[in-house]
């Protein structure tokens, strides 16, 4: 475990050095939050880049996994030195100013939210440990897809491509998680079942911490704690995090790219665009759904930069291309040379495609299933969505125009990804009811942290709570009508 801890520290250091050139102009009460945010994003990026480099080494040398691991570690250090050198030349400045209401922050609200958040965190941690003890090898998908690929990479470094045979389940899935697990096994020189559990816990914790810190950076720590409480109230985060599947890591890279996109649209340099592209590329290297996200982000990055300024477009495009280079190259190598055909795309024909695209009951079934999944929130005793609408209506919005463009662009990215998910269901060759029932909750989990981030930075924090006159009038009218409504039931 000491070796794994050192690997985590090294990956966090590497990612932090990649993120650190992004300078900022902050008030003192936000600088510490921003540093923690850099460490959080850097840890995830460092782990993802380690996975990519380990896969490159396994593909190039085909030698022992331990040798590939140390080559990957050396290449990772070289990338850090290069990034630091480039970061000195192009240093964007991001101005983030968090304003407290009348210069004061309500300690009463902070204490209550911190108490609720701590209770939710302890409860979720205990639940994660319980789930991991009950299923130490993960769920069925983890055993048949992610951990199985990792075992092929570790046990058979010369013939690991057998693990990508089309005879196995979803052999076209990218290898970020299997490569990372295999790299850790190569470090400790054994198949330790704690490694997949630890990876699931790390990405679950990183997703939660990233949401709290990013919202706290823009809206204050009270709003960040409220966002964290809302995320912890969604049990699928813990269920799929402990299942050792790739949905939680994918959600982390989605959120990381969205946060960095909002920052990038407030900066004057290219390093932020590099990090947005890198996070989006790592999402594509995590799971097939991430490819849709990466393509959407690539399109938005081009449109945003053409809109902002035409002069530095070539320099910015170079930063974006550099960000996509490492994970995109790994994905391209995997898809072209090693991967089997996708089970959805391989069975499509033009006649079948036309038949499904113009069969309107499929659209109705997908929308109904999506609505049921979204508004019943499986395993949730209380659906948080109505409370989010109510909270937003009560406190209103005090959005800084500086970040409006980033919020709109991020919302458009999520909309494009959701649209891509929707049309995959439309053309799927599988039974539609089974496909929706099996995968829709995963897709919602992948997007939910990013949606929460956009919601909580768009609405005012709780210390700015002001009951609107209209809201009070409506509440009073409802209370006056309540006795009549109750009597009418009888």
Give tens-digit pLDDT for 339-354.
767 767 666 667 777 7
Give the residue from 7, 13, 180 showing the smallest Cα distance to 84: 13
Among 25-34, 93-102, 150-159, the minimum mean pLDDT is found in: 93-102
pLDDT of residue 296: 92
What pLDDT sits at residue 467? 46
Residue 415 lies in a domain: no
Classify residue 370: in a domain, yes or no: no
pLDDT of 254 strictly over 70: yes
Q: pLDDT value at position 231? A: 93
For range 218-224, the mean pLDDT: 86
Mean of pLDDT values over 140-164: 80
Residue 302: pLDDT over 60: yes
State both tokens at 329: 């190259």
User: Is the residue at 414 inside a domain?
Assistant: no
Indicate the pLDDT class of residue 253, thresholds 50, 70 and 90.
very high
Instruction: Compute the distance between CA of residue 460 and CA of residue 399 in angstroms, rounded to an integer.
Output: 7
Instruction: Report pLDDT for 15.
Output: 67
Over residues 221-225, the mean pLDDT reads 89
Least confident of 7-11, 224-228, 467-471: 467-471
Pairwise CA distance, residues 173 & 341, whole Å: 10
Domain span at residue 311?
2-339
More confident residue, 27 or 200: 200
Q: Name which residue leads in pLDDT, 93 or 249.
A: 249
Residues 37-73: tens digit of each pLDDT: 888 888 898 889 888 888 888 777 665 555 555 565 6
102 pLDDT more than 70: no
Mean pLDDT of 227-247: 91
What is the reported pLDDT for 486? 46
pLDDT at 405 over 70: yes
Task: Give the residue, 225 or 169, on which the prediction is more confident.
Answer: 225
Is the pLDDT at 397 greater than 70? The verdict is: yes
The mean pLDDT value for 121-131 works out to 93
Closest CA to 58 of 244, 185, 199, 192: 185
39 domain-assigned: yes
Split into its structural domains, the chain has a count of: 1
Tokens at 450, concatenated = 């990013």
pLDDT more than 90, % of the chain: 27
Residue 27, pLDDT score: 45
Q: Report the pLDDT value the prediction gives residue 378, as an integer from 0 to 100.
A: 57
217-246 average pLDDT score: 90
Q: How far does CA 213 lie from the centroid of its chain?
A: 14
Higher pLDDT: 417 or 34? It is 417
Band of residue 484 on the pLDDT scale cut at 50, 70, 90: low
* Residue 446 clears pLDDT 90, i.e. is over it: yes
pLDDT band at 101 (very low <50, low <70, confident <90, very high): very low
Across 76-94, average pLDDT:
51
The more confidently predicted of residues 154 and 374 is 154
**Cα separation, 461 vs 188, whole angstroms:** 46
In a domain, 365, yes or no: no
Residue 170 is assigned to a structural domain of this protein: yes
Asked if pLDDT for residue 84 goes beyond 60, the answer is: no
Residue 186 has pLDDT above 50, yes or no: yes
Whether the per-residue pLDDT at 255 is higher than 90: the answer is: yes
* 79: confidence class by pLDDT, cuts 50, 70, 90: low
Q: How far is 414 from 454, CA to CA, in rounded Å?
A: 10
pLDDT at 28: 42
Q: Which of 149-158, 221-230, 461-470 has the highest mean pLDDT?
A: 221-230
pLDDT over 80 at 332, yes or no:
yes
In a domain, residue 391? The reply is no
The predicted pLDDT at position 97 comes to 46
Mean pLDDT in residue range 240-259: 94
**pLDDT of 247 above 90:** yes
Instruction: Kindly state the tokens that stand for 286.
Output: 């995590």
In the predicted model, what is the mean pLDDT of the chain? 78
User: Residue 147: pLDDT above 80?
Assistant: yes
Weakest mean pLDDT among 84-88, 173-177, 239-243: 84-88
Q: Regarding predicted confidence, which is higher, 113 or 308? A: 113
Q: Which residues of 94-115 are buried (b: 16+ CB within 10 A; e: fewer)?
A: bebebeeeeeebbeebbeebee
pTM of the model as a whole: 0.87
**pLDDT greater at residue 268 or residue 18:** 18
What would the pLDDT profile of 13-46 be if each residue is shown by its tens digit?
766 666 665 554 444 456 777 788 888 888 898 8
Domain annotation covers residue 272 = yes
């Amino acid at each position: 475990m000491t070796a794994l801890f050192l690997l985590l520290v090294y990956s966090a250091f590497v990612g932090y050095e990649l993120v650190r050139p992004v300078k900022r102009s902050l008030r003192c009460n936000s600088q510490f939050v921003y540093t923690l945010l850099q460490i959080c994003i850097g840890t995830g990026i460092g782990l993802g880049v380690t996975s990519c480099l380990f896969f490159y080494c396994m593909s190039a040398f085909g030698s022992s996994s331990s040798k590939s691991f140390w080559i990957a570690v050396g290449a990772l250090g070289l990338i850090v030195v290069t990034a630091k050198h480039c970061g000195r030349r192009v240093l964007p400045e991001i101005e983030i100013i968090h304003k407290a209401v009348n210069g004061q922050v309500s300690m009463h609200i902070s204490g209550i939210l911190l108490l609720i958040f701590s209770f939710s965190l302890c409860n979720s941690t205990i639940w994660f440990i319980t789930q991991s003890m009950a299923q130490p090898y993960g769920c069925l998908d983890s055993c048949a897809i992610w951990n199985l690929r990792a075992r092929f990479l570790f046990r058979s470094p010369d013939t690991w491509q057998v693990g990508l045979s089309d005879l196995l389940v979803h052999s076209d899935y990218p290898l970020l998680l299997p490569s990372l697990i295999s790299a850790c096994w190569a470090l400790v020189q054994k198949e330790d079942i704690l490694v997949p559990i630890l990876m699931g816990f790390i990405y679950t914790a990183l997703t939660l911490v990233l949401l709290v810190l990013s919202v706290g950076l823009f809206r204050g720590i009270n709003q960040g704690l409220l966002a964290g409480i809302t995320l912890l109230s969604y049990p699928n985060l813990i269920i799929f995090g402990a299942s050792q599947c790739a949905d939680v890591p994918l959600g982390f890279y989605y959120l990381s790219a969205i946060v960095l996109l909002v920052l990038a649209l407030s900066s004057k340099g290219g390093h932020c665009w590099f990090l947005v592209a890198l996070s989006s590329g790592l999402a594509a290297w995590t799971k097939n759904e991430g490819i849709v996200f990466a393509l959407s982000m690539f399109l938005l990055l081009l449109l945003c930069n053409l809109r902002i300024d035409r002069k530095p477009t070539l320099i910015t495009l170079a930063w974006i291309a550099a960000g996509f280079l490492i994970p995109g190259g790994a994905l391209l190598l995997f898809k072209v040379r090693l991967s089997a055909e996708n089970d959805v795309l391989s069975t499509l024909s033009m006649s079948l495609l036309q038949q499904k695209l113009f069969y309107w009951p499929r659209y109705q079934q997908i929308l109904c299933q999506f609505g049921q999944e979204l508004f019943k929130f499986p395993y949730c005793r209380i659906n948080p969505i109505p409370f989010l609408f109510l909270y937003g209506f009560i406190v209103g919005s005090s959005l800084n125009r500086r970040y409006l463009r980033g919020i709109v662009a991020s919302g458009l990215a999520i909309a494009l990804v959701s649209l891509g998910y929707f049309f995959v269901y439309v053309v799927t060759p599988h039974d539609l009811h089974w496909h929706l029932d099996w995968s829709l909750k995963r897709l919602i989990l992948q997007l939910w942290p990013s949606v929460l981030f956009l919601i909580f930075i768009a609405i005012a924090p709780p210390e700015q709570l002001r009951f609107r006159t209209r809201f009070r009038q409506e509440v009073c009218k409802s209370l006056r009508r309540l006795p009549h409504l109750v009597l009418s039931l009888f």
